[in-house]
Structure 1
Amino acid sequence: MSPASIAVLAVGMSVDALLASIGRGAASSRPRFTQALRTGAVFGIVEAITPLIGWAAGFAASQYVAAVDHWIAFVLLGIVGGRMLLHSMKPAAERNDAAQGNSLWALMATAIGTSIDAMAVGVSLAFLDVNIFVVALAIGFATFVMSTGGMMAGNLVGAKFGRWAERIGGLALIGLGTSILCSHLMAG
């Protein structure tokens, strides 16, 4: 796999994490750079690990992973997106408290939900002559950079558009989960 192909794959696998982190940044009232780094690190680490898991599963587990991956993504992204929608309807004081109270759980659930497709990519990479560790590191690094930047950009969007940006982010996550589910159900 060429370096350009790895870069395209890494950016493509990172887009859903970017959208989720923009929504998180919009939901937070002035997230600190350390929060953005934490968000980027969690998304990047999870996004780097999942293709390794998929690659390791290879031929043996691909039918089992493919059988449930779309449902896992659908449920996790639906829950997180729904929480974002509900959170956007609360008064400002409650929104800030809620964002801080459950942020690690929501961050992990979002990271796992947005990285399920990377596991499927990892399974497909098991059939190619690639260095999976280079690919996984590229995906993790791209996700880290894009998610950290997305969190900070979401803060700028949130300052002006606040609740609407969070609602759009929630709907985007629900839409992403629904799209993953529908594409798998229609294909098989």
Structure 2
Amino acid sequence: MSLTELFIIAVGLSMDAFAVAVCKGLAMGKMSWKNAGIVGLYFGGFQGAMPLIGYILGSRFSGTIESYDHWIAFVLLALIGGNMIKEAFDSSEETADPSLDVKTMTLMAVATSIDALAIGVTFAFLQVDIVPAVSFIGIVTFCLSAAGVKIGNVFGCRYQKKAEFAGGLILVLMGFKILLEHLGVLG
């Protein structure tokens, strides 16, 4: 997997965290870079840890399903991306709690990184070099989440749905790319 592909996946995965970070920024009266860093560490840390866990789980059985692993990667990415796109069109309003306590942040970080667990399983099938991949995903998510707090503090939640839609679309397209490469359609 190329660095460009990994970057695209990292951005796609981080869109949920970015959207929540934007709303966190909106809920903060006065934005501080310390708080943005805390949000970034939670989201980036979990976004990096979850694919590692998925990779470990996926590595245990990747050899037995090697002949159709590209279909599994495609289905996982399509489901995750499709769910993000569906959530982007969901009319119910979610508000972010401005609290940065451990319980709140851990629950939000886990909720926004569940999709990264499935990506880790996909990485096992594709035999991705996992340590640089999860580090890169964590760093990209940290940066986007910290920036999201600032953006939310300035602009508000009006871009949350667009960010979720973009992230979902990116993941679906990456799934198609993986499938088409393994089927020999793309070179």
Q: TM-score range by the shorter chain?
A: 0.5 to 0.7
The CA deviation string for residues 85-133 of structure 1, in whole angstroms up to 9 with x for no partner, is: xx7xxxxxxxxxx734x64322221111110000001011111121011
Partner of 1:53: 53
The SS at the match of 1:152 is helix
Taking a change above 3 Å as real, the CA distance of residues 121 and 29 of structure 1, as seen in their structure-2 partners, is: same
Counterpart Cα distance in 1 of 2:38 and 2:109: 12
Counterpart Cα distance in 2 of 1:15 and 1:155: 17
- What is the TM-score of this pair, normalised by structure 2? 0.64
Task: Report deviation, 1:59.
Answer: 5.9
TM alignment of 1:157-168, pairs within 5 A: 157-158=155-156, 165=157
The SS at the match of 2:45 is helix
The CA deviation string for residues 16-35 of structure 1, in whole angstroms up to 9 with x for no partner, is: 11111001100111121100
TM alignment of 1:3-22, pairs within 5 A: 3-22=3-22
TM alignment of 1:5-154, pairs within 5 A: 5-58=5-58, 84=95, 99-100=98-99, 103-154=101-152
Read off the aligned partner of 2:43 and give its amino acid letter: F
Identity %: 31
The CA deviation string for residues 133-159 of structure 1, in whole angstroms up to 9 with x for no partner, is: 11101110000000000001111124x
- What is the TM-score of this pair, normalised by structure 1? 0.64
Counterpart Cα distance in 1 of 2:108 and 2:124: 25
Counterpart Cα distance in 1 of 2:151 and 2:117: 27
Gapped runs of 5+ residues in structure 2?
63-75, 169-187
Q: How many residues align?
A: 143
The CA deviation string for residues 16-74 of structure 1, in whole angstroms up to 9 with x for no partner, is: 11111001100111121100011001100000000000000116589xxx9xxx9xx9x
Task: Report deviation, 1:82.
Answer: 7.2
Which portions of structure 1, spanning 4 or more consecutive aligned residues, are displaced by more than 4 angstroms? 59-62
Taking a change above 3 Å as real, the CA distance of residues 154 and 61 of structure 1, as seen in their structure-2 partners, is: farther
Counterpart Cα distance in 2 of 1:7 and 1:113: 21
Read off the aligned partner of 2:42 and give its amino acid letter: V
Read off the aligned partner of 2:14 and give its amino acid letter: S
